[in-house]
Amino acid sequence: MGQCVTKCKNPSSTLGSKNGDRDPGSKSHSKRSAGPRDDHSPAGGKSAGDILVNGTKKAEAATESGRLPTSSGEAGKEPGQSAQESSGQRMEELFRRYKDEREDAILEEGMERFCNDLCVDPTEFKVLVLAWKFQAATMCKFTRKEFFEGCRAISADSIDGICARFPSLLNEAKQEDRFKDLYRFTFQFGLDSEEGQRSLHREIAIALWKLVFTQNSPPILDQWLNFLSENPSGVKGISRDTWNMFLNFTQVIGPDLSNYSEDEAWPSLFDTFVEWETERRKREEETKWITPSDTDGPSPEEHT
């Protein structure tokens, strides 16, 4: 869906990739990515049972003491604490599978592989919802903090776990209050924070509006986007106020625009849109009732 998913100016970009040239059909599961080795694995390839404890194999020593080692290999830990640490380890391994070699974050290339393993196209609404739950500050990037806190927020620490959460995340995004939060997040997500942007480029705003309204498109959306594409008012960017107020506009103003009033505190761009759309509909209606001209020839009755 083009620019809807990147901070770049390249119209062919995607949320998971600035290049946008990934073949959506080349999907694979996370099992094809081996992931990094565990730095804590015993040296020499020995199993945990081969590690000696005071000259005795660890498993044997534990048996002699009358209790078996915990799943983490360390005795005396609380079960809840052990499970939490195991989940943290899985998140660490998952993060390191996609993180950049030079920066402690998942960047463009890693995001492409991440989306590929999730079996989603980087331009899908699902990816925007995931970025929302991760509270990502920048397109094409998950910092370590965003990734770990996001995984905890959706209670998932694996590719399969994240995939299993998508249905409930999509349902959550349909709730009115949650969608409003997602909608406002989308504006901030589209800004280039490194450049200090305060408004969205018109083309990016159009693409993001298409994306964020994937599940519930308001009746007036197509006309609004056509208006912005034809750009009769010469608008170059969309401000935060205009973005936020458009959601109110879709909820308050009917599809026929009859209850719109310029006296209310709408952005001036909305005044221009309503005037433009009203004139367009009037011309369309007039075209339907144009009578045939004389040059079309006489009617059949005139030959009798």
The CATH code of the domain that includes 158 is 1.10.238.10
* Structural domain ending residue among the three candidates 174, 197, 224: 174
Is the domain of 169 the same as that of 191?
Answer: no
CA dihedral over 179, 184, 187, 189, signed as positive or negative: negative
- Other beta carbons within 10 angstroms of residue 123's beta carbon come to 26
Residue 252 lies in a domain: yes
The CATH code of the domain that includes 266 is 1.10.238.200
Alpha-carbon distance 137 to 171, whole Å?
Answer: 23
* Structural domain ending residue among the three candidates 119, 146, 174: 174
Residue 247 lies in a domain: yes
Looking at the structure of the chain, the number of domains it has is: 2
- For 191, which DSSP code? S
- Entry pTM: 0.71
Residue numbers of the chain with a pLDDT score lower than 70: 1-81, 290-304
**Helices vs. strands in the chain: H and E counts, helices first:** 11, 6
Residues with Cβ within 8 Å of residue 145, at least 6 apart in sequence:
none
* Structural domain ending residue among the three candidates 125, 142, 174: 174
pLDDT digits (tens, 9 = 90+) for 155-191: 999 999 999 999 999 999 999 999 999 999 999 999 9
**What is the model's pLDDT at position 56?**
39
**Using an 8 Å Cβ cutoff, are 225 and 274 in contact?**
no
Instruction: Take residue 301 and report the two structure tokens written for it.
Output: 């009755």
Residue 180 lies in a domain: yes
**What is the model's pLDDT at position 104?**
97
Residue span of the structural domain in which 155 resides: 82-174
